[in-house]
């Protein structure tokens, strides 16, 4: 299978080509079509499988296909990930893949001065990549609202729970609109993770690699 077979848009195919990718990985083959159709997704996949592109590419395509909102851009997509390193990596993928689309993105994480992150947010972004603590901080200060989110990605759910982020996640979930598309990824699916997935996903497609 080739990327061309996944019905991705020309601007995304061009960016993928420039990255040197030719064939989609198994998680990309299985996840991209249902996500493009608007389905929720529960993916059991580790880092290294190409899962970042599996959720980023279809989400960018759907965001770019929606009419651009007037005025300052509302945040339409949120990717929540446990660590600063993962957040930076995901944001770099967004930069590479979104190069030929009008989608604007930024990344926020703790342990650094919040000022540059707040400045980036205030210019308006479509897609926000965040770690839970800094996200809640900036929500508390009124710099971020989640009521316009259409796409929500929970990345590395098992690591989130291991790192003690369950309380943060419980605080974030009720701030998201009910009507949204949700993509859930975890390297392992023990009972506690499956229960969390069941709570936040609606009739998901299950993908395991
Ligand atoms: P991830 O699992 O998302 O962290 O991706 C692991 C690595 O695989 C990253 O360095 C990606 O740039 C790379 N990658 C993702 N998709 C593909 C693909 N279809 N072909 C080749 N490399 C890829």
Question: Which residue minimizes the CA distance to atom 10 of ligand 1?
Answer: 48
Q: What is the Å distance from ligand 1's center to 122 Cα?
A: 31
- Probe target for ligand 1 pocket from 5, 51, 52, with the most ligand atoms within 8 Å of CB: 52
Tens digits of per-residue pLDDT, 44-99? 999 999 999 999 999 999 999 998 778 889 999 999 999 999 999 999 999 999 99
Quick one: three-class SS letters along 104-145? CEEEECCCCCCHHHHHHHHCCCCEEEECHHHHHHHHHCCCCC
Nearest CA to ligand 1 atom 13: 50
* Distance between Cα 21 and ligand 1 center (Å): 8
Give the three-state DSSP class for 186.
Answer: strand
Residue nearest to atom 5 of ligand 1 (CA): 50
- If one residue of 2, 25, 26 were mutated to test the ligand 1 pocket, choosing by the most ligand atoms within 8 A of its CB, it would be 25
Strands of the sheet containing 77-80, edge to edge, are 105-108, 127-130, 77-80, 151-154, 181-186, 41-44, 205-208
Dist. CA 81–CA 163, nearest whole Å: 11
Q: What angle do CA 68, 98, 9 make, to 5 degrees?
A: 80
With H, G, I as helix, E, B as strand and everything else as coil, classify residue 59: helix
* pLDDT for residue 70: 81
Residue 24 Cα to ligand 1 middle (Å): 9
Here the tokens at position 93 are 């993928």
Structure letter (DSSP) for residue 182: E
Specify the ligand 1 atom closest to the Cα of 28. 19
Centre of ligand 1 to C-alpha 60, Å, is 17
DSSP letter string, 73-91 = PPP-EEEE-SSHHHHHHHH
Q: 115: Cβ–Cβ under 8 A, 6 or more apart, which residues?
A: none
**Predicted TM-score (pTM) of this structure:** 0.97
- Per the CB < 8 A criterion, the answer to whether 205 and 41 are in contact is yes
Atom of ligand 1 minimally distant from the CA of 48: 2
Instruction: Give 17-51 pLDDT, tens digit per residue.
Output: 999 999 999 999 999 999 999 999 999 999 999 99
pLDDT of residue 67: 84
Phi, psi of 12 (to 5 degrees): -75, -40
* Nearest atom in ligand 1 to 46's CA: 2
The ligand 1 atom at the shortest distance from the C-alpha of residue 51 is 3
Q: Are 139 and 78 in contact (CB under 8 A)?
A: no
Backbone angles phi, psi at 163, to 5 degrees: -85, 5
pLDDT for the residue 100 = 98
Mean pLDDT of 179-203: 97
């Amino acid at each position: 299978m080739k990327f061309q077979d996944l019905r991705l848009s020309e601007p995304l195919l061009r960016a993928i080509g420039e990255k040197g990718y030719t064939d989609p990985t198994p998680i990309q083959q299985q996840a991209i079509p249902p996500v493009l159709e608007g389905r929720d997704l529960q993916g059991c996949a580790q880092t290294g499988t190409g899962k970042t592109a599996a959720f980023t590419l279809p989400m960018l395509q759907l965001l770019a296909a929606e009419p651009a909102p007037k005025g300052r851009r509302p945040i339409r997509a949120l990717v929540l990930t446990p660590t600063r390193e993962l957040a930076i990596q995901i944001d770099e993928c967004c930069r590479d893949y979104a190069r030929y689309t009008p989608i604007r993105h930024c990344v926020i994480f703790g342990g650094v001065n919040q000022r540059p992150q707040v400045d980036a947010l205030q210019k308006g972004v479509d897609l926000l990549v965040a770690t839970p603590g800094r996200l809640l901080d900036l929500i508390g200060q009124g710099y971020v609202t989640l009521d316009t989110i259409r796409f929500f990605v929970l990345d590395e759910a098992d690591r989130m729970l291991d790192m003690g982020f369950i309380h943060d996640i419980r605080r974030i979930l009720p701030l998201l609109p009910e009507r949204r598309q949700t993509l859930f990824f975890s390297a392992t699916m023990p009972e506690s993770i499956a229960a969390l997935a069941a709570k936040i996903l609606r009739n998901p497609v299950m993908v395991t690699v």
